[in-house]
Amino acid sequence: MTTPLNERRVANAIRVLAMDAVQKANSGHPGAPMGMADIADVVWREFLSHNPTNPQWANRDRFVLSNGHGSMLHYALLHLTGYDLSIEDLKSFRQLHSKTPGHPELGYAPGIETTTGPLGQGIANAVGFALAEKTLAAQFNKDDISVVDHFTYCFLGDGCLMEGVSHEACSLAGTLGLGKLVAYYDDNGISIDGEVEGWFSDDTEQRFLAYGWQVLKVDGHDADALRAATLEAKAETAKPTLIICKTIIGLGSPNKQGKEDCHGAPLGNDEIALTRAALGWTEGPFEIPTDVYAAWNAKDKGQQAEAAWNETFAAYAAKYPTEAADLKRRMSGELPSDFVAKADAYIAEVNAKAETVATRKASQNAIQAFAPLLSEILGGSADLAGSNLTLWKGAKGVQDDAAGNYVHYGVREFGMTAIANGVALHGGFIPYVATFLMFMEYARNAVRMSALMKQRVIHVYTHDSIGLGEDGPTHQPVEQIASLRGTPNLNTWRPCDTVEAAISWKSALVRAEGPTALIFSRQNLPFQARTDAQIADVAKGGYVLAKEKGELKAIIIATGSEVSLAMEAYAQLDGVRVVSMPCAEEFVKQDAAYREAVLPSNIRARVAVEAAHVDYWWKFVGLDGKVIGMTTYGESAPAKDLYQFFGITTEAVVAAVKELTA
C-alpha cells in the first residue's frame, strides 16, 4: 500500500529540488525525477552501499542513471546524501562550468559513475560494471576472504529499452549470468512525443525473461513493494534482475503528472505552487528541512561500510600480499613498473625478426607478448576472433570461467563497446574490443563516449581497407578512418608493419587519458628497416622513414599498407622523403621543431597516399599537394585488382611527385 503523497517527506525532497532546479534553469526534465523519487528513496537510503566522503571507494555499489535526461534525480540524491554537491551547485543546474550539467557527465559532480545522455548506453555501461565486478571477484576473492563484493543498480526508462543497444547488452548480461546487476525500469508510458503505446508495445517482461533475467513487477510508488523486490533481486545470484516499476511521470504535479507536458520542460511557477501544496511542502525553493537532510545523510553509514571493508582488505593483504598489491595497482590504473622496459625489449625483438605478415597477425603477436605481463587485460571481440586475431595462448573465456580474461561478445559491436566503457569505468581492467573496421559504424557512439569520458578502452579494427578484397563495398571501409581521426581525444593508429604494430599497442596500453583505435590489415605488409632513432620516433606518430637522396624536393606521407607503395616510389625518385604517419593525433602533439623537422614547411610538393577517404589528408599536403586514395565506395574483387582499379599504385605516387616537382 502506498503512503499518501503528502506524507512522503523524504522522497518529496527529490521532487521539489528537481522541479525548482529545472524551473530556475528554464530547461530540463522534471518528470522522471518526480516519477522515480519513491524508487530512489528505497534504493539509495536502504540498499546502496556508498561513501559520500570517498566517492572512489573501491568496493562501493555502482549506480547508473541510464535515462540521463533525469539528471536532477541524481544530483538531488548526491546532494541529499552528503556528497560535495551544494545547494548552490543545484541552483546552477545546466549553467556553464557548473557541476550539474544537463545530463550526468563523468568528472563534474562527485559520485557520477558514467556519462549518460545517449539513451541505452547507461544500461550497457551498467552491464560492463557488473561484468567487471564478477570477473574481478573471481580473480581475487578467496574462499575465506572476499574483497570484491558489490552491486550495480541501474535506473532506466522507455527510451533506453527502445534503443537497440539495450537489447545487445541485456541479452549478453543474461547469458553471462550477471546476478549482481539490478535494473529498475521506470514504466511510465510517456516519452517526448506522448504516450508510448503507439510506438512501443513490446512485452518487456517476456523480452527479459527470454534473455535469462529475473523479472519482477511492482508499483513504483509503493515503498514496501520496492523493498521486497530489491531483496528478491539481491537474493537471485545467477541472473540479473529487471524490476518493472509502474510509475506516474511528474507525480505530484496536479495538472501535468502522467502527461508528456512534464517530460522535458519546466512545470511553471503556478504549477509548482500547486505541486508544493499537493506534496504538503511548505518550504520555499531549494529549502530542505533539517529532519529531511538527516534522514538522507549517508556519511556515517558510508564511512562505517568503508572502514569495515578496509579491515577486511587489511586481513586479505596480510594473508595474500601479492594479490592485494596487484588489486591495488590495478584499481589505481597504474601499469606494472617494469612494463615499459619489457615492452621496449619486445619491440626490439620484433625489429630483429623483420617479419613480413599482416598487421592483424602482428597485433596478435603483440597481444601474446603484452597480455601475460598485464593481469588487467580483458580482451574481446564481436564474434570474428579468428579473423581479428584477438585471442592469445593465455586467453580464457569468461563464459566458462568467471576469472577469465576474454569476452566473446557475439555479433554485438555497439553493445560490446558500451559494455567495455563500463568495464573501464569500474576500474581494475584495461578492456580491448575488436571487429572489422567497417563495423565500427555500429559502435560509433560508444567509441565517442570512450573518448568523451577519457577512458582507456582499446578499439581493435582489422580488415582496414579495400585490401580485404572479395567481400566487397559493404565490408570495405572508406570514410571510417577519417571519422575516427575526427574524434577528439581518440588516438587512431594505422601501422605499416610489425614494429609499428607493436609500438601502437604499447602506446594504447600506456595511454591513461583516453582510448585508442588500432587499425590493422588483412593482407601481408612488408617489413620496413629502421634505425634505433627511427624506432624511438614511431611513438611520436609521424617520422621520416626514408631520408631523401640529395636535395629535398618532395614528401610522400603514407600509413599502413600504403607505406610499401611509398617506399617503392621512393626507390624510383631522387630528392624525395617518405614520412610514415601511423598516428596523426600523436604527431600533431609534438613540438613545432619536431614537426618542422619531419615536414619542412618550405616543401610544398607533398603527396599523401592511403586506401581510405582522401579528404583527411589535405591539412598535411596543402591545397597545392595531392592525395591518392578513395573518393567512392569499393568493389568486390581480389585486393591487387582493386588497388589497380582505384589507382592506388606505386605508379600513381611516382606520377604525382613528378607532376608536383616538374
Q: Answer yes or no: are the C-beta atoms of 449 and 418 closer than 8 Å.
A: yes
> Can you give 38-82 as a three-state secondary structure string?
HHHHHHHHHHCCCCCCCCCCCCCCEEEECCHHHHHHHHHHHHHHC
- DSSP string covering 6-19, please? GG-HHHHHHHHHHH
Residues 6 or more apart whose CB falls under 8 angstroms from that of 515 comprise 447, 450, 451, 455, 456, 457, 458, 459, 489, 490, 491
Residue with cell string 600523436: 586
How far is 381 from 56, CA to CA, in rounded Å?
29
How far is 304 from 312, CA to CA, in rounded Å?
12
How far is 432 from 296, CA to CA, in rounded Å?
39
**Ordered alpha helix ranges (H), 82-203:** 87-91, 121-140, 158-162, 164-175
| C-alpha cell recorded at residue 131 | 561484468
Helix (H) or strand (E) run with residue 517 in it: strand 516-519
Single out the catalytic residue among 133, 271, 413, 562. Answer: 413
What is the arrangement of strands in the sheet containing 576-580, beginning at the earlier edge strand?
543-546, 576-580, 554-558, 606-613, 626-630
Residue with cell string 562505517: 304
| C-alpha cell recorded at residue 472 | 566487397
**CA neighbours within 13 Å on the CB side: how many for 203?**
5
Residue 266 three-state SS: coil
CA separation, residue 498 to residues 414, 459, 534, 640 (Å): 29, 18, 14, 21
CA geometry: angle at 151 spanning 145 and 152, to 5°? 150
Q: Answer yes or no: are the C-beta atoms of 181 and 154 closer than 8 Å.
A: yes
Beta bridge partners of 154: 64, 183
Q: Answer yes or no: are the C-beta atoms of 170 and 128 closer than 8 Å.
A: no
**Backbone torsion region of residue 256, taken as left when φ is above 0, otherwise alpha when ψ lies between -120 and 50, otherwise beta:** alpha
Q: Is 413 among the catalytic positions?
A: yes
Residues 6 or more apart whose CB falls under 8 angstroms from that of 88 comprise none
Residues 6 or more apart whose CB falls under 8 angstroms from that of 203 comprise none
Residue 421 three-state SS: helix
Helix (H) or strand (E) run with residue 311 in it: helix 299-319
Residue with cell string 615499459: 340
Residue 23 three-state SS: helix
How far is 591 from 380, CA to CA, in rounded Å?
36
Q: Which residues are catalytic?
A: 413
